[in-house]
Structure 1
Amino acid sequence: MTAGHLVQSVDWLAVAPPAITAAAALAVLVADLFLGERRRPLLGAVSVAGLALALLSLLPLRAGDRSTFCLAGGAGQGRVCSYTADHFTLVVQLLVLGGALLTALLSMPGRAPHAPGQDGLPGEYWFLLLASASGAALLPASRDLATLVVALEVASLPAFALVGIRRGDRLSAEAALKFFLSSVTATAVMLLGVSFVYAATGTLHLTAVADALPHVPGRLQVLAKTGVLLTLVGFAFKTAAAPFHFWVPDTYVGAPLPIAAYLSVVSKAVGFSGLILVAVVAFPPYAHLWAPALAVLAALTMSVGNVAALRQSHDRARGAVRLLAWSSVAQAGYLLVPIAAAGYAGQRAVGSTVAYALMYAAVNLGAFGVAALVARTSPLNRLADYRGLYARRPAAALALAFFLLCLAGLPPGVIGLFAKVTVFSSAVDAGLGWLAVVMGANVACALYYYLRWTALLFRAEPGTAPGPGAAVSGTAAAPARPAAPRAPGPVVAAVALAAVAGVALSGAPQLVLRFTGMNLF
């Protein structure tokens, strides 16, 4: 073949994780046409098996040196690829596919959470979940702006339907509408930015964009800078960074609990992986523009999230899911810190975001799993419903306490402490002392509501064990709660897997901290 031709190669092993997930989605969609109502739970088992197989397909790729869909130029020219399975890709794919697997397990009880009287989940639920997961697995491997946008939309579009899948539920419909409108706005802004970048550089491949930006003609520099900032603003919506976080609380509350868990981990990982790719791979020549902006966004996001969560924790009549939603906004602020630091100290700083995201994914999914158990007897899922949980479900209470302590960064959640230290260190090493101070104040603020919720788990319920003066005061005993039903096996498995992951990471934090300071690309 002559040097003037383009060579298109496909490495099927490299694309196996998203391809297997997409194939499982199609299999579930076809199977749903032929399975009756009684055999519909088989779709959940097929979904779990497909996601497990996709996770196993990561093992042959662990060297992190495969690329495909490449353009090969003449002799001596390097290859430019649209899909790369490097270490960053594999770690994020492990996170999103593992998160989707736990979400599928949380979705498998016989009665859909928050939907009394509705038996099971519609068959299209599993197709939408797998389709979204396939896009989430594709995105970290994308190395051109077109593939990046397509992967982001493949991950996002099914999520709109998943949020509003409870038919006839006003909260679910409202949540889906808010999520849809905010995401469409984000996509429009991001596409405008991408078009500006393409107009200024003449290329869509991330590494080629990075090479072209320093040589943009003077009359196009304003266009290029505007495109860079608009692209980052679009991803800021996807990551729920303040002030673009307004859709998060209502969306999490209105969505089915497993989908709220999915959005808090997998959807957030998609946004952050896309932000990392465009910021540190495509736009490093303009780091002087985006690094200060991301630092300010990080400080604002963690502050808004923690203050709102603090207010939420004082009202026990409010929902626990809303508190977890505000907590996830605050956690997004911590995740932004190393990305901002990468603009000052180089791309190795983003390893701290990857390490923190792995810790956050395991423990946050576990917290939502316990919330799914509590929702079976207390559909409103208020904070007050967690009082005395240890007396009713000791294992669930201990697991939730561990997850909350990990999020707070307190022992025995050692991995949470170490992850926060690495994020803090990335800010200090980059010369962002003011951001480190803001983060320290926010971590201290978060301790209050995490510990307040943890203490609530072990308090006796009102009237359950009256003291010696109860008869004198005439205080009436509170009505007894209904006996906790037997927990569904898949939900127990999901919580157990999250707890095992959290304990393993606390016992051997080097499993994720090894990514700190590592060149992932």
Structure 2
Amino acid sequence: MIQSVNHFALLPLYAAAGTALLVLVLELAVGRWVAPAGIAGGLATIGAAVTLALDPADTFCGPARCSWVATPPAAVMAVLFAALTIGVLALSAPALRLGIAPAGEFCFLLTSSMAGGVVVAYAGDLITLIVGLETLTLPLYVLVGLRRFAPRERGTTAGASAAVTFFLVSVVSTALALLGAALLYASTGALHLAELTGGAGQFAPLASVGAALLVIGFAFKVAAVPLHAWAPATYDGAPIPVAAYLSTASKLGGVIALAAVAQRLDTGPLVAVLAVLTMTVGNLVALRQTRMIRLLAWSSVAQAGYILAPLAAGASGVPAALAYAVFFVLLEFVAFGVVVALRGPGGDGGDLAEYRSAGRHHPWLGAALVLSFAGLAGLPPGLAGLFAKVTIVASLIDDGWGWLAGVVALNAVIALAYYVRVAASLYAPVGLPPEPVPAAEPGAVATLTRVDVSRPVGAAVAVATLLTVILGFAPQWVFDALS
């Protein structure tokens, strides 16, 4: 069988992979301009994805199906992967400029991960999907270990430990996903996503086991229970910009993979159980956190549960899950961006007590963080997050999963406790004593009051916040684009 190859359809991948190669060549040849090249390549990837969306074309096609499928949701996700890469490069710019991190290696690994994200967005079969996910994830093992971002505060062992934890759990999850894909192929003879079925006759149980293993393997990427324990330690041990990428782009890849499987295979009960456990465990443990990055990590675990919930309904819940994922990654990026701005190049996330009154000294950063927390909690003025929560609940009720909608609503109420607590502390009077935190360093609050926000970091936070506000007033556009 001879497959057709349409190079026009591969423009987004060519742009993303070409960016990684360009960064590598620039680092070897001249040793500079790598970050601007990465940003330019991200913009080129966005342009290529938009061009392909205007004139959709598939490639790697056989007699019936294609392995590279251009759809409106694929274009949105490819644009989002590239935009997140640009944003993380902007957040990392001060550290790269000061030599705290190796610019060439950092930009090459990050843009390579972007290429994997583009593959995930357009994947039309299980093999392409898994290869894309691994290309998205593999560079992050090394990026997490680049703990030279904060040599004075956390030491180099934190990054190494986080990288090893991330790697080991990822290997197990990948093995499960590959085994699930093999069992599905053995029972149905299909690898293309459009042809996935639950099997028939004597092969039906084998197909069910394969589908379950696929879901569990992909659940790692979104830090869903029980493959969630790596996330808090990894986020807190990694450089903050890398943690931002893990919490947004890496999680987005997992959502796309889970949606591709859940909408075609009968995995509703399993996904529902994972959703309930993930959102409940994430919210309950987040209540006890005293470090900012660990709070955001456990919050992202809970958010993964909200994203999984509509997937329990199958294909009808996919648009709601993808729309929620889009709003989540934007809000999460804003939160991490504010932390980077307040902590400075090479800083770690710090303790929650260190953020007391930070909003009084940096009003626009405080407002951005409050907007992010409000959106993640599903409250005004975070209209994007409010729409996302309402969409999730409405989708579940319409599909007959009312009890799951009730669990989502209950967990949203629980999450208010820590979101409101942290948001309120940003504007607490300086004279009030901070909450007792054993790890808090003396004078940390004063450090946050004197921070000088770098222009690239401030621009990244401002653009992401503005985009979140705009989409909050026109959220239906996102939902329609993903339907």
Q: Secondary structure at the match of 1:132?
A: helix
1:150 to 131, 138, 146: 131
1:162 positional shift: 0.8
2:422 to 429, 453, 457: 453
- 8 Å contact from structure 1 (residues 388, 456) kept in 2: yes
- 8 Å contact from structure 2 (residues 356, 445) kept in 1: no
Mapped partners of 2:189, 2:247: distance in 1? 36
Q: Deviations over 1:461-514 (max 9, x none)?
A: 1369xxxxxxxxxxxx98982452421111111101111111101222222233
Mapped partners of 1:510, 1:266: distance in 2? 22
1:401 positional shift: 1.0
Mapped partners of 2:201, 2:25: distance in 1? 52
- 8 Å contact from structure 1 (residues 162, 255) kept in 2: yes
Which residue in the other structure is 1:295 paired with? 272
Mapped partners of 1:221, 1:512: distance in 2? 37
1:326 to 269, 292, 298: 298
Mapped partners of 1:372, 1:235: distance in 2? 29
Say whether 1:251 aligns with 2:242: no
Mapped partners of 2:105, 2:459: distance in 1? 23
Mapped partners of 2:257, 2:14: distance in 1? 19
1:110 positional shift: 3.8
TM-score w.r.t. length of structure 2: 0.92
Which residue in the other structure is 2:193 paired with? 206
Mapped partners of 1:149, 1:479: distance in 2? 43
Q: Secondary structure at the match of 2:182?
A: helix
Mapped partners of 1:103, 1:206: distance in 2? 31
- 8 Å contact from structure 1 (residues 265, 365) kept in 2: yes
Task: Map 1:209-228 to 2 at 5 A.
Answer: 209-210=196-197, 213-214=198-199, 216-218=200-202, 220-228=203-211
Mapped partners of 2:147, 2:288: distance in 1? 29
Q: Secondary structure at the match of 2:93?
A: coil
Which residue in the other structure is 1:371 paired with? 339
Structure 2 unpaired stretches of 5+: 149-154, 434-441
CA RMSD of aligned residues (A): 2.1
Q: Deviations over 1:19-42 (max 9, x none)?
A: 211111011111111224xxx3x2
- 8 Å contact from structure 1 (residues 64, 87) kept in 2: no
Which residue in the other structure is 2:216 paired with? 233
Mapped partners of 1:224, 1:173: distance in 2? 38
Residue 492 of structure 1 aligns with an amino acid whose one-letter code is G
- 8 Å contact from structure 2 (residues 67, 192) kept in 1: yes
Mapped partners of 1:58, 1:186: distance in 2? 30
- 8 Å contact from structure 2 (residues 145, 238) kept in 1: yes
1:260 to 212, 223, 243: 243
1:111 positional shift: 5.6
Say whether 1:393 aligns with 2:362: yes
Mapped partners of 2:106, 2:423: distance in 1? 33
- 8 Å contact from structure 1 (residues 64, 90) kept in 2: no
Q: Secondary structure at the match of 2:228?
A: coil
1:361 positional shift: 1.3
- 8 Å contact from structure 1 (residues 109, 120) kept in 2: no
Q: Deviations over 1:105-154 (max 9, x none)?
A: 11111468xxxx85343411111000011001111211111111111111
1:129 to 93, 107, 110: 110
Deviating more after overlay: 418-427 vs 221-230: 221-230
Mapped partners of 2:48, 2:216: distance in 1? 34
Mapped partners of 1:146, 1:182: distance in 2? 20
1:21 to 12, 16, 30: 16
1:169 to 152, 156, 159: 156
Say whether 1:62 aligns with 2:30: no
Q: Count residues with an aligned counterpart.
A: 467
Which residue in the other structure is 2:71 paired with? 86
- 8 Å contact from structure 1 (residues 374, 381) kept in 2: no
| Bigger Rg, which one | 1
- 8 Å contact from structure 2 (residues 34, 103) kept in 1: no
> Structure 1 residues 463 and 118 mapped into 2: Cα distance closer, same or farther (>3 Å)?
farther
- 8 Å contact from structure 2 (residues 240, 348) kept in 1: no
1:90 positional shift: 1.2
Residue 411 of structure 1 aligns with an amino acid whose one-letter code is P
Q: Secondary structure at the match of 2:319?
A: helix
- 8 Å contact from structure 2 (residues 147, 237) kept in 1: no
Which residue in the other structure is 1:415 paired with? 384
Residue 68 of structure 1 aligns with an amino acid whose one-letter code is T
Choose between structure 1 and 2: higher helix proportion: 2
Q: Secondary structure at the match of 1:461?
A: coil
Which residue in the other structure is 2:436 paired with? none
Which residue in the other structure is 1:106 paired with? 91
Say whether 1:43 aligns with 2:34: yes
Residue 24 of structure 2 aligns with an amino acid whose one-letter code is L
TM-score w.r.t. length of structure 1: 0.86
> Structure 1 residues 367 and 478 mapped into 2: Cα distance closer, same or farther (>3 Å)?
closer
Q: Percent identity?
A: 41
Say whether 1:352 aligns with 2:329: no
- 8 Å contact from structure 2 (residues 59, 67) kept in 1: yes
1:160 positional shift: 0.7
